[in-house]
Chain A
Amino acid sequence: MLKILKYSSFDLMRSRWSYVYFLFYLLLGFVLLFLNNNVSKAVITLMNIIIVIVPLIGTIFGVMYYYNSREFTILLLAQPLKRSTIFLGQYIGLSISLSISLLLGLGIPFIFYGIFESAAIWDFSSLLITGVFLTFIFVALSINIALSNENRIKGFGFAILMWLFLAVIYDGIFLISLMIFNDYPLDKFSLIATMTNPIDLSRILILLKLDISALLGYTGAVFQKFFGTGLGVIISFSVLILWVLIPAWLIVVKSGRKDF
């Protein structure tokens, strides 16, 4: 699997898109720091962008990479390799190279700005860690969609819809249901609803880390009570890990049954 992983990351590192992605983050980092002139504030702005952009990029790259490397995959399938090796190798290779673009693109401007001497170093690193998690999650989800759809246009459409749902529509439904069921105790419901969407979960994790949960009012207090504890952090990170493992496992199952 390491060989496949190496080759797919190598292949991606050479494609123009990895550089575009890297440069985008580089530019974003510098602009934010320039405008905010304050590392902590820049981290908060960055969070709002990362939480939406990283899943989108992961989704698009996942689908695009799968469809583009189809012929290469077929070449690999004829070699003495296990199917799970091929697909997991490609998945991890893609996720790693996207994560590297993210880490370097954002890391470089913040290092220049002196993140290591700043108190925001932990906030910043938790931001990057969630960014990496979101990359792995959304690449896996989109590869699953691509595996189930032979038609590229359909695959792309479904993948974008999935992103739109998790990044925007889910929150809308969530808020509406909070309003409708206002008379009932909703803290458990909102906790669970947050856990079942990786984007919301990441957002809450970062917000609490940034210690601005007071802004969230009563719900914020409930969340702080849950996520602020050691157990809460462990549970939420386990849920993030599950969000990676389950789609990755589905990739293995789906690819094992597919005809090429």
Chain B
Amino acid sequence: MINISNLHKNFGKVVVLRGIDLEIKKGGIFAILGPNGSGKTTLIKSILGMVIPDSGKIAVNNHSVLKEWSYRDNINYLPQIADFPNNLSVKELIKMIKNLRGKTASDSELIEILGLKPFLDKKLGNLSGGTRQKVNLVLCFMFDSELLILDEPTTGLDPVSLIQLKKIIRQEKKIGKTIIITTHIMSFVEEMADEIVFLLDGNIYFKGTIEQLQIKTEQKNLEHAIANILTLENA
């Protein structure tokens, strides 16, 4: 599904990605983990073409994505910060994105599940952070695309919505979607992810299943396993 080879990216003097090689196969949930500033978002944004890499190759379905745009038709992206034009209402925003994509969308179902109905006519500027995140989720999940990229999907969600979110993600997985998630919430990863990629200082430190990581670090709990890596690195 995604092939990344020798990906480098600097922001000025800060080196963010130092030659990432990564292959993500079709189907399943991949969690990209790593401490703050390890390059998770930069990696995701490179796949989306929002960050332009200094060197290296990225291919989605065997087609290079550099300077391309039409491949994004098959990607749904959930940005980390849910911020929208303040003058639009929720309904208008959804309608607009639908209009831009021109794909069939299952928005009414998602609005129902996430309980967004009372907010449809409200201006986006007046919504709370959690409600905005729900709008963000609707925009992301309403299209039928092969690849879903979720950057911190749990931010600001209440427990009820979190359960709904997990349900939605599982459903997508069931029908063979590839889902890439970044998050700092380890319980979420343990529950959802099939495979994890651990980034450290712009390199891939570990790639494999959670069990493999637990064996490698000799820790039973994922949180401790991750902490173990970080303290070992700093030691």
Contact = CB atoms under 8 A, between A and B. Distances in A.
Contacts of B88: 11
A193 interface: no
A259 B79 contact: no
Contact of A79 (B52, B85, B87, B97): B97
Given A79-B72, A80-B69, A259 B77 contact: no
Contacts of A83: 69
A242 interface: no
A76 B101 CA distance: 10
Interface string A67-105: 001011011111111110000000000000000000000
B235 interface: no
Tell me the dominant secondary structure on chain B's binding face. Answer: mixed
Contacts of B231: none
Given A80-B101, A81-B69, A259 B87 contact: no
Interface residues of A, number: 23
B51 A260 contact: yes
A82 B49 CA distance: 10
Interface residues of B, number: 27
A11 B50 CA distance: 23
A257 interface: yes
A81 B75 contact: no
B45 interface: yes
A259 B96 contact: no
Contacts of A154: none
B215 interface: no
B84 A72 contact: yes
A14 interface: yes
Contact of B81 (A15, A71, A79): A71
B109 interface: no
Interface string A47-78: 00000000000000000000001011011111
A249 interface: no
A82 B139 CA distance: 19
A21 interface: no
Nearest 10 CB-CB pairings of A with B: A71-B83, A80-B73, A78-B77, A80-B72, A259-B51, A14-B87, A260-B50, A72-B85, A82-B69, A77-B50
28 contacts: A3-B99, A3-B100, A4-B100, A7-B96, A11-B87, A14-B87, A71-B79, A71-B83, A71-B84, A72-B84, A72-B85, A76-B100, A77-B48, A77-B50, A78-B50, A78-B79, A79-B72, A79-B97, A80-B69, A80-B73, A80-B101, A81-B69, A81-B100, A83-B69, A258-B52, A259-B45, A259-B50, A260-B51
Interface of A: 3-4, 7, 11, 14-15, 69, 71-72, 74-83, 257-260
Interface of B: 11, 45, 48-52, 69-73, 75, 77, 79, 81, 83-85, 87-88, 96-97, 99-101, 139
